[in-house]
Structures are given as C-alpha cells and as structure tokens.
Amino acid sequence: MATTDDYGQGVSIATLTDAPDAETLARNIANAITSRSVMRFASSAARTAALAGDAAPVEGMVSWLQDTNLLYVYDGTAWRPLSTLLMDWTPLASVGGFAPGFTAGTPVPRMRKLVSMGTEVWEYEGRINITSLAPATTTTMFTFSGAHRPTNGRGFQVYNSSHHGARLTITQTGPMVVSVPAEAGSGVAVVYLDGVRITNPAS
C-alpha cells in the first residue's frame, strides 16, 4: 500500500508490497514535484487550461507567466501576483514641479509605484540640488501632481550635504518639504531621497 513523504506534503510513494507499476510510480513523483515547484505558462489562459479537473490549483501553488513576467501564488480563490509594477521609475519632473532654488541632481530624483505581496509601495531615490536653504525652517522643494500624493502626509529622515539629518515630509496636498536644524547652517546644498518609501499610500 502506497505511503506518503516524510515532510507531510502528500507525495505518494510506492512500497515494496505494491504491485510493480513503473508508470504510476513515475507519474506520482512527477506530479508531486511539478505541483510544488514554480510552474511556467505562456499566459493566464494557458494556465487556466492546464490547471483544470484533477490538476485544478490548490492553495499555495506558484506559477510564472511569460507574457507578464510576473510570479503568482494561488491563495485558494485566485492567482495573486507577488509583485506588480504600477509605475516604472519616473523622474520627479514628470510627476510635479520643483520650487525655485531646487533642481534635479545626479542621479536624477525619481519615483516608482508597485504592489509587493499585496501592499502598494511608492519608492523614491536620487538627489535634489539646493541653491539656498534657510536652517530651522520648513521649505517646499517640490510639489507633486494629484495622482502622486499620499492620502495622508508621511515624514522621513534623509541624508543631506551637512553632517546633520534633514526632516522630509511628503504632504497630502502635494508639497514635499524639507528642514534642517540650525546647527546645519545655511550651506546645505543637497538632499538625497534614497531609501524614502511609502507603504499603503491610500491609507
């Protein structure tokens, strides 16, 4: 009588008392390995056609679609992408405008939007050059257009050209504001956006 694997994964294993059947033995092993590996399909339609009947998807299955180049996991109800790119890296100049005295540096400041494990994430990177920044003062350096504003303001600590941290806030009304402590003086010439990340921007 066939038994199962030692890891509780339901893989059927023939025993010495089973009648010899090489085809069944091979099929049991192949089906078990395939259903528990990353299955590749040309499209969602091809996946639906292949995973039907006895091969219907079960919770925890993983698949890769070649047309979207995305990895999906089946949650028992539907195939969910593990990561979806909503907006590729886009220069800030294309999603809003710089305030006077602030310009794009190198690397170019930019943002992207994606869904990671079901959570929407906005990421930022790059350098903003500053002509003049008064210390201990909240100053607008950029304003985002409507589609790129979080529902509520978010605050961050970021690097700048001084030895002091800068406080950065991306507001719900559009302005991205920055302030440095009085100890930084008036010589701050750069603010870096690397590492700035908003999760659930609609919350």
Q: Report the distance separating Cα 191 and Cα 110, nearest Å.
A: 13
Per-residue pLDDT, averaged over 175-186, amounts to 95
Give the pair of three-digit tokens for residue 174.
């559009």
Percent of the chain with pLDDT over 90: 69
Are 88 and 110 a contacting pair, CB within 8 Å? no
Indicate the length of the chain as a whole number.
203
Q: Where are the beta strands (DSSP E) in the chain?
A: 3-4, 12-13, 38-41, 62-65, 70-74, 79-81, 83-91, 96-98, 102-104, 110-116, 119-125, 127-130, 139-144, 154-158, 166-170, 175-179, 190-192, 197-199
Give the pLDDT of residue 123.
98
Among all chains, which residue has been given the structure tokens 């091979």? 26
The CATH 2.60.40.2460 portion of the chain extends over 84-199
The CATH 3.40.1620 portion of the chain extends over 39-81
CATH code 2.60.40.2460 for 84-199: yes
Over the stretch 182-191, which tens digit does the pLDDT of each residue have? Answer: 999 999 999 9
More confident residue, 61 or 95: 95
More confident residue, 51 or 5: 51
pLDDT at 26 exceeding the cut of 80: no
More confident residue, 39 or 138: 138
Q: How confident is the model at residue 118 (pLDDT cuts 50, 70, 90)?
A: confident
Q: Report the distance separating Cα 15 and Cα 4, nearest Å.
A: 10
Domain 39-81 fold is YefM-like fold (3.40.1620)
Percent of the chain with pLDDT over 70: 90
Give the pLDDT of residue 117.
77
pLDDT at 11 exceeding the cut of 70: no
Are 169 and 141 a contacting pair, CB within 8 Å? no
